[in-house]
C-alpha cells in the first residue's frame, strides 16, 4: 500500500458550479467585441459584428445514440433562439467508435442534413474521425446565428417582479432519452409499452426544439430573459437564470407542468423531474403587464405555456412552494438522467 490518497473524481455531467465559476473567473476576455462571453447560465456567446450581432454556441450530444445528428442540430439551435437570434450556420464534429461502420456515418450525416433543412440552417463544415476509446458515437455541434442589436435577449436580463413562464412542460428530452435508451428496463419494471412509446415520441411531440416558442413569444411582447433548460433540468435552469440576473426566484410546484409520461417514468425509476434533462421547454422572464399577451400568442400557435412563478430581489433565496409552504429549490449536482445511467453501470 502506497498510502497515497485516491485522486478526486468528478461526477458524470456538468462541472460542479463552484469549480466552473472559479475556472471561468480565470479567463481574460481580450477582444472588446465580445459582448457576452463565458458566463454561468448564459446560453451562447454574443459578438459585435457591426449592424448585427453574431451569436455562437457549441454543445455535445453524449447521452443519446438514437438520432444523435438530429439532436445535435436541434439542441444547439435552441441556444441561438433564446438569444432572440435566428440560427443560420452549423458545424459538426462527429466522433465514431472503432467498431462503427459506414452505415452509421451515413445515418448521422443524413440526420444532420435533415435537421438543418428543417430549421433553414446551412451545414457548413466540421470534422469527422474514428476515435480510440469510444463505445458510442459523440457529436459536438457548433451553431452560429445573428440578431439585430435591439432584439438581443440574454439569460441575465430578468428583473425583480418579472413573471416566469414555461412552455410545454418537463422533462421532454430526458423522458424521451430514457424511453429510447432504457425501454427494456422500463418494461421489466412494469411500465406499459404504449406509455414508453408515447414517451419516446416526445422528441417530436411536444418536441425538443424551442426555436418556434422563442419566435412566437418575442413576436408578442418584449421578453427580458430566456433560458433553455437542459442538463440539470428546470431546477438548474432556474438557478442559472437567477445567478446570471443577480436575482432570486420563487416558483410554485403545482403550476409547473410535469408531462404525464415523464411523471410515470420518473416514479418508476425513482427520479425527480425537476432535475431531469429538460430541452424542449422554454423558460422566459416577462414583465407582468405583458404576460397575458405572451401566453395568448403561444396558445394561438398551439404551444402550451404556464406562469410558474416570479423573479424576486437579489437578496431573496431560490424557493419552491408546495401548497402554502416554501422550501429551498432543490440542487442537482448532476442531471437525474446521468445519475441513473451511472447507477446502471
- Per the CB < 8 A criterion, the answer to whether 87 and 81 are in contact is yes
The model's pLDDT over 222-268, given as tens digits with 9 standing for 90+, comes to 999 999 999 899 999 999 999 999 999 999 999 999 999 999 999 99
Longest dimension (CA), the chain: 68
* Per-residue pLDDT, 345: 65
Domain check: are 44 and 129 in the same one? yes
What is the rounded average pLDDT of the residues 101-111?
95
What is the rounded average pLDDT of the residues 153-174?
96
The model's pLDDT over 264-294, given as tens digits with 9 standing for 90+, comes to 999 999 999 999 999 999 999 999 999 999 9
Domain check: are 118 and 239 in the same one? no
- Per the CB < 8 A criterion, the answer to whether 164 and 226 are in contact is no
Q: State the Cα–Cα distance between residues 160 and 108, nearest whole angstrom.
A: 44
Domain boundary pick from 116, 151, 186: 151
Domain check: are 169 and 221 in the same one? yes
Domain boundary pick from 113, 129, 151: 151
The model's pLDDT over 175-185, given as tens digits with 9 standing for 90+, comes to 999 999 899 99
* Per-residue pLDDT, 41: 74
Whether 1 is covered by a domain: the verdict is no
Look at residues 277, 257, 281, 247 and name the one whose alpha carbon lies nearest to residue 82: 281
What is the rounded average pLDDT of the residues 69-74?
94
Whether 9 is covered by a domain: the verdict is no
* Per-residue pLDDT, 2: 54
Whether 140 is covered by a domain: the verdict is yes
What is the rounded average pLDDT of the residues 319-342?
91
What is the rounded average pLDDT of the residues 186-200?
95
Look at residues 48, 44, 14 and name the one whose alpha carbon lies nearest to residue 31: 48
What is the rounded average pLDDT of the residues 323-339?
91
Domain range for 187 is 155-343
Say what percent of the chain tops pLDDT 70. 97
Residue 38, domain CATH = 3.30.1330.10
Q: Which grid cell sits at 142?
A: 457548433
The count of domains in the chain is 2
Residue 217, domain CATH = 3.90.650.10
* Per-residue pLDDT, 229: 94
Is residue 51 exposed (0-12), middle (13-18) or buried (19+ Cβ within 10 Å)?
exposed
Domain check: are 143 and 160 in the same one? no
262 or 342: which carries more pLDDT confidence? 262
What is the rounded average pLDDT of the residues 41-63?
89
Range with the poorest average pLDDT among 6-20, 38-52, 110-124: 6-20
Q: State the Cα–Cα distance between residues 75 and 64, nearest whole angstrom.
A: 12
Domain check: are 172 and 264 in the same one? yes
Amino acid at each position: 500500500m502506497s498510502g497515497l490518497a485516491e485522486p478526486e473524481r468528478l461526477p458524470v455531467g456538468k462541472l460542479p458550479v463552484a469549480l466552473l465559476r472559479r475556472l471561468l473567473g480565470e479567463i481574460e476576455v481580450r477582444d472588446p467585441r465580445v459582448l457576452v462571453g463565458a458566463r454561468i447560465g448564459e446560453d451562447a456567446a454574443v459578438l459585435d459584428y457591426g449592424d448585427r450581432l453574431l451569436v455562437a454556441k457549441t454543445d455535445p450530444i453524449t447521452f443519446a445514440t438514437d438520432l444523435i445528428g438530429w439532436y445535435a442540430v436541434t439542441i444547439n439551435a435552441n441556444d441561438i433562439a433564446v438569444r432572440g437570434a435566428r440560427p443560420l450556420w452549423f458545424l459538426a464534429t462527429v466522433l465514431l467508435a472503432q467498431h462503427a461502420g459506414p452505415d452509421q456515418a451515413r445515418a448521422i450525416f443524413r440526420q444532420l442534413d435533415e435537421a438543418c433543412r428543417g430549421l433553414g440552417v446551412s451545414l457548413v463544415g466540421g470534422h469527422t474521425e474514428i476515435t480510440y476509446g469510444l463505445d458510442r458515437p459523440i457529436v459536438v455541434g457548433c451553431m452560429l446565428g445573428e440578431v439585430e442589436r435591439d432584439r438581443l435577449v440574454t439569460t441575465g436580463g430578468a428583473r425583480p417582479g418579472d413573471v416566469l413562464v414555461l412552455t410545454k412542460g418537463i422533462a421532454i428530452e430526458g423522458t424521451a432519452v430514457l424511453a429510447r435508451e432504457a425501454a427494456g428496463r422500463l418494461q421489466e419494471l412494469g411500465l406499459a409499452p404504449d406509455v414508453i412509446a408515447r414517451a419516446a415520441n416526445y422528441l417530436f411531440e411536444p418536441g425538443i426544439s424551442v426555436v418556434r416558442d422563442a419566435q412566437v413569444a418575442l413576436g408578442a411582447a418584449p421578453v427580458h430573459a430566456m433560458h433553455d433548460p437542459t442538463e440539470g433540468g428546470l431546477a438548474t435552469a432556474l438557478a442559472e437564470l437567477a445567478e446570471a440576473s443577480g436575482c432570486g426566484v420563487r416558483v410554485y410546484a403545482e403550476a409547473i407542468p410535469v408531462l404525464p409520461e415523464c411523471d410515470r417514468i420518473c416514479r418508476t425509476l425513482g427520479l425527480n423531474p425537476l432535475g431531469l434533462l429538460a430541452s424542449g421547454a422554454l423558460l422566459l422572464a416577462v414583465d407582468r403587464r405583458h404576460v397575458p399577451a405572451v401566453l395568448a400568442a403561444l396558445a394561438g400557435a398551439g404551444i402550451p405555456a404556464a406562469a410558474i412563478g416570479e423573479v424576486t430581489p437579489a437578496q431573496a433565496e431560490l424557493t419552491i412552494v408546495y401548497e402554502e409552504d416554501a422550501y429551498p429549490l432543490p440542487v442537482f449536482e448532476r442531471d437525474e438522467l446521468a445519475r441513473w445511467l451511472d447507477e446502471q453501470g
